[in-house]
């Protein structure tokens, strides 16, 4: 019996986390990849160079503690990454159970359940009820597009009321670099990828296109309409430029 116990005991030992892992985290509106390196060091530390962000931690340091550390230093991390790379890079995200994607500027966890290819939203989570042969990427995109259209219509309705104009037709585009467009004939088209952005940036883009219903140009009069709808439009424009370079691709 003693020999049997000795053979079974290793099965119940706590295994140490892998020495190195590639992970990602949402910092602000950007998804940042980082290399997590487990070592005997006692304190958390990080370095940024041409290889990107590397985080050093002991095997006992939890992922929650590591992510708190990164979020606390988010401004420094993003600044240094931009200094090394000049511009962010588009992140191609795989859709799987536990994947994290930004939705309306907040981290959203993907959950996969068996089902008939339906989607629903939970508390900061996107639930994909999928068949075994389902294309999870297409299911996720469908959910994100539906969510985007609802949000865009809500913002457009608010600005239409302010301008005292009828609500135009709101449609989605698949554009990766052009956030929106406006036509007197067909209405407003907005990139569904804006769903990854915080609401204040979405509001600016919608306000910008709604202002074209009054001034179909970029004249001084146009920008006065934009400022009326979105007083913080200048800061939003700058933040959108950064988002364009780091918006995830699903």
CB of 36 within 8 A of CB of 24?
no
CA distances from 220 to 179, 180, 208, 232 (A): 21, 20, 13, 16
CA dihedral (42, 48, 49, 55) positive or negative: positive
**pLDDT tens-digit map of 155-212:** 999 999 999 999 999 999 988 768 999 988 889 999 999 999 999 999 999 999 999 9
The DSSP 8-state label assigned to residue 168 in this structure reads P
Encode burial over 82-101: b for 16+ CB neighbours within 10 A, e otherwise.
eeeeeebeebebebeeebbb
Order of strands, edge to edge, in the sheet holding 52-57?
Answer: 20-27, 30-38, 52-57, 45-49
pLDDT, residue 98, reads 87
CA angle 219, 222, 224 (to 5 degrees): 115
Q: Which residue segments constitute the domains of the chain, with CATH numbers given? A: 12-85 (no CATH), 143-246 (3.30.2010.10)
The DSSP 8-state label assigned to residue 206 in this structure reads H
Highest mean pLDDT range out of 4-18, 73-87, 196-210? 196-210
pLDDT-derived band at 96 (thresholds 50, 70, 90) equals: confident
Distance CA 212, CA 215 (A): 5
Half-sphere exposure of 158 (CA within 13 A, CB side): 13
**pLDDT tens-digit map of 146-171:** 999 999 999 999 999 999 999 999 99
What's the token pair of residue 51? Answer: 């290889």
Distance CA 225, CA 211 (A): 6
Q: What percent of the chain has pLDDT over 70?
A: 86
Distance CA 174, CA 157 (A): 22
pLDDT at 16 > cutoff 70: no
- For residue 209, the Cα-to-chain-centroid distance in whole angstroms is 23
Contacts of 239 (CB under 8 A, 6+ apart): 29, 201
Distance CA 130, CA 137 (A): 11
**pLDDT tens-digit map of 120-137:** 999 999 999 999 888 999
pLDDT at 8 > cutoff 90: no
**pLDDT tens-digit map of 40-67:** 777 888 888 756 788 999 888 999 999 9
- For residue 119, the Cα-to-chain-centroid distance in whole angstroms is 18
CB of 188 within 8 A of CB of 166?
no
């Amino acid at each position: 019996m003693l020999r049997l116990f000795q053979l079974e005991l290793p099965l119940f030992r706590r295994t140490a986390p892998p020495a190195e892992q590639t992970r990602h985290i949402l910092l602000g509106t950007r998804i940042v990849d980082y290399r997590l390196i487990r070592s005997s060091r006692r304190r958390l530390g990080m370095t940024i160079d041409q290889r990107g962000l590397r985080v050093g931690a002991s095997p006992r340091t939890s992922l929650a503690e590591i992510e708190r550390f990164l979020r606390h230093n988010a401004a420094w991390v993003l600044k240094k990454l931009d200094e090394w790379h000049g511009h962010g890079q588009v992140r191609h995200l795989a859709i799987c159970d536990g994947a994290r994607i930004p939705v309306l500027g907040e981290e959203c966890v993907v959950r996969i359940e068996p089902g008939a290819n339906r989607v629903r939203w939970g508390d900061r989570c996107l639930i994909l009820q999928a068949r075994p042969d389902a294309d999870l990427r297409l299911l996720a995109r469908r959910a994100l597009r539906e969510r985007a259209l609802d949000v865009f219509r809500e913002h457009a309705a608010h600005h239409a009321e302010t301008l005292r104009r009828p609500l135009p037709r709101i449609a989605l585009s698949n554009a990766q670099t052009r956030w929106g467009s406006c036509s007197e004939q067909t209405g407003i088209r907005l990139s569904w990828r804006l769903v990854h952005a915080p609401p204040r940036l979405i509001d600016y883009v919608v306000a910008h296109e709604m202002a074209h219903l009054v001034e179909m140009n970029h004249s001084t009069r146009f920008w006065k309409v934009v400022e009326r709808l979105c007083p913080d439009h200048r800061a939003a424009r700058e933040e959108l430029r950064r988002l364009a370079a780091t918006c995830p691709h699903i």
